Structure 1
Amino acid sequence: MKKLFLHKTFSMLLALLVLFSTVSFTIEKHYCGDVLVDVSVFTEAQKCGMEALEILQKKTCCKDEVDVIQGQDQLKFSSFEDLDFQQQIFVASLAYAFINLFEGLPQQVVPHKDYSPPNLVADIQVLDQVFII
């Protein structure tokens, strides 16, 4: 039971590691002067509303910064055939030794598995007023 739980947990952690290492996203920041107005992840940052005034004055006090965080896009897929002959023998012998390391338990015989107890007509201890203290 513990082995299965650990195996599934480890598999999920490795899958999440691959997922998060390949995800790319952008962080947009909008500054009005030297003041940070908005920070946004995955979407466009909201503007401060000074764009209309900047068009009339032809001056810019606002600036946008875009940080792009690139994920890994080159994944290496290798197979058993990519290994040389000695490495293949080592991996095969390691797997064989590990599989045969654990012995199965013998099937236990339970002699009273199909036994059904008799129906109780009355509780004898209560009738005789005999209790274990």
Structure 2
Amino acid sequence: MIKLLHKGFSMFLALLVLFSTVSFTIEKHFCGDVLVDISIFTEVDKCAMETYEIALEKITKKPCCKDVVDVIEGQNELKFSSFEDLDFEQQQIFASYIYTYFSLFEELPKLTIPHKDYSPPNLVTDIHVLDQVFII
């Protein structure tokens, strides 16, 4: 159970680092005020009015369709902190936490069972049948 929890938590942290450093764009295509298509990783599909827009733009000078591009920037650099970057009190707290954490997992003393190698005596007769005592 603990190994499964540990693997799940480490996978979560790895994905968190991955998604915080990746940049991506969200493209939206509007035809008038109506949202036609949304795309995250590929180009947006244009509507059928896009071909007629060129002729309409020559007449009205106002385009009908528009594309909106939202860019979500990820981190460019990750900050790597070292133990020396912490002040003295934080270093003491961190060191005492690590010491107490590893002290929790001390090995138990080996149990000695004194009668482990003892073999019971051989039965000469069956006492239950001899005394006619049966568990009902």
> With structure 2 as the length reference, what TM-score do the two structures score?
0.66
| Residues 80/47 of structure 1: CA separation in 2 closer, same or farther (3 Å cut) | same
Q: Deviations over 1:13-69 (max 9, x none)?
A: 111122222222211111122222211111111111333322223242111111112
Q: Unpaired segments of 5 or more residues in structure 2?
A: 118-135
**Length, aligned pairs only:** 113
Aligned to 1:15: 14
Further displaced range: 38-47 or 70-79:
70-79
RMSD: 2.6
In 2, Cα distance between equivalents of 1:97 and 1:61: 67
Q: Deviations over 1:84-131 (max 9, x none)?
A: 34433332232122212232134457958xxxxxxxxxxxxxxxxxxx
User: Which of 70, 83, 86 is equivalent to 1:80?
Assistant: 83
* 1:24 correspondence with 2:23: yes
> With structure 1 as the length reference, what TM-score do the two structures score?
0.67
Aligned to 2:125: none
